[in-house]
């Protein structure tokens, strides 16, 4: 009985400390959506890596562009690693204009690197640490984290062991960078069908078993109908599961008004 009581006290102490840490964290990036902010506890917080997954055209890259502009608004530089060739300077200019910001200055605030393979991805991450320290980087965006892992799984010329090992090293390096430099890290992820008939979430990130082992914050973007979609916090270290409507507009992800 004594052991159980001690365990309960330790658990309670840990939870209180975790909440205090979250509340005291001042480096927070908001979005243009009040509802989205509510789902994630007010905004995206430093020291956390968020896995944002969903099918094509659910707004994953739109969110990355939107957060890039929001980071510029706070005078915080960021690194944007593009594995899908989806970064669009014209979209940054457009979003900056909607927010009454200088689009060219917003672009200069983003250090963009196009990644052509997971081997190149890992090499780039080894360079990133010096870039973070020398440029006062506060945010890291990867769009998407599992693009080349998905490709390598179906490539007969790449062994499963090599694909898995490289992917895990990438994930571990990103987690280390996030924690060491107190970054806000956004990782979009491509999805595959969830074959569990009883599952509420019908799609899961490719490589979920590895992503779930290292990261704790998972946001699911799910298209519903027309311009209506759901953003669903399906897993979080501190926050409860929550789902809310949003729409993709010219200004980025916005609240859906019924």
Instruction: State the average pLDDT for the chain.
Output: 87
Query: Sign (positive/negative) of CA torsion 53, 54, 55, 58?
Result: negative
State the average pLDDT over residues 76-103. 96
* Structure confidence by residue, pLDDT tens digits, 100-126: 999 999 999 999 999 999 999 999 999
> What is this structure's pTM?
0.87
Checking if the pLDDT of 227 tops 80, the result is no
- What does the pLDDT read at residue 181? 96
Q: Domain-by-domain residue ranges, the chain?
A: 28-255
Per-residue model confidence (pLDDT) at position 35? 86
- Reduced 3-state DSSP string for the chain: CHHHHHHHHHHHHHHHHHHHHHHHCCCEECCCCHHHHHHCCCCEECCEEEEEEECCCCCHHHHHHHHHHHHHHCCCEEEEEECCCCCCHHHHHHHHHHCCCCHHHHHHCEEEEECCCHHHHHHHHHHHHHHHHHHCEEEEEEECCCHHHHHHHCCCCCCHHHHHHHHHHHHHHHHHHHHHCCCEEEEEECEEECCCCCCCCCEEECCHHHHHHHCCEEEEEEEEECCEEEEEEEECCCCCCEEEEEEEECCEEEECCC
What is the model's pLDDT at position 21? Answer: 47
Looking at the predicted structure, is the pLDDT value of residue 249 above 80?
A: yes
Fold type of domain 28-255: Rossmann fold (3.40.50)
Sheet containing strand 110-114, edge to edge, reads: 110-114, 77-82, 137-143, 184-189, 48-54, 217-225, 228-235, 242-249, 252-255
Using alpha carbons, list the distances in angstroms from residue 245 to 172, 200, 234, 255: 32, 17, 14, 7
State residue 1's pLDDT score: 37
User: What is the per-residue pLDDT for 153?
Assistant: 87
Q: Given this model, what pLDDT does residue 89 score?
A: 97
What band does 26 get if pLDDT is binned at 50, 70 and 90?
Answer: low
């Amino acid at each position: 009985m004594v052991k159980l009581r001690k365990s309960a006290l330790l658990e309670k102490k840990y939870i209180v400390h975790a909440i205090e840490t979250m509340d005291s964290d001042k480096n927070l990036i908001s979005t243009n959506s009040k509802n989205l902010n509510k789902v994630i506890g007010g905004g995206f917080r430093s020291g956390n890596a968020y896995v944002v997954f969903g099918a094509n055209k659910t707004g994953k890259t739109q969110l990355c562009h939107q957060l890039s502009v929001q980071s510029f608004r706070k005078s915080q530089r960021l690194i944007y690693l593009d594995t899908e060739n989806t970064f669009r300077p014209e979209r940054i200019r457009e979003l900056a204009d909607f927010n009454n910001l200088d689009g060219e200055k917003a672009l200069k605030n983003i250090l963009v690197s196009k990644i052509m393979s997971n081997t190149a991805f890992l090499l780039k991450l080894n360079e990133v640490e010096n870039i973070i320290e020398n440029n006062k980087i506060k945010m890291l965006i990867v769009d998407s984290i599992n693009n080349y892992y998905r490709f390598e799984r179906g490539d007969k010329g790449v062994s499963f062991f090599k694909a898995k090992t490289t992917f895990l090293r990438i994930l571990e390096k990103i987690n280390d960078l996030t924690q060491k430099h107190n970054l806000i890290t956004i990782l979009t992820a491509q999805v595959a069908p969830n074959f569990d008939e009883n599952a509420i979430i019908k799609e899961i990130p490719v490589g979920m078993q590895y992503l779930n082992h290292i990261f704790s914050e998972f946001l699911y973007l799910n298209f519903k109908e027309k311009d209506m979609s759901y953003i669903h916090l399906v897993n979080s270290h501190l926050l409860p599961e929550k789902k809310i409507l949003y729409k993709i507009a010219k200004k980025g992800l916005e609240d859906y008004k019924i």
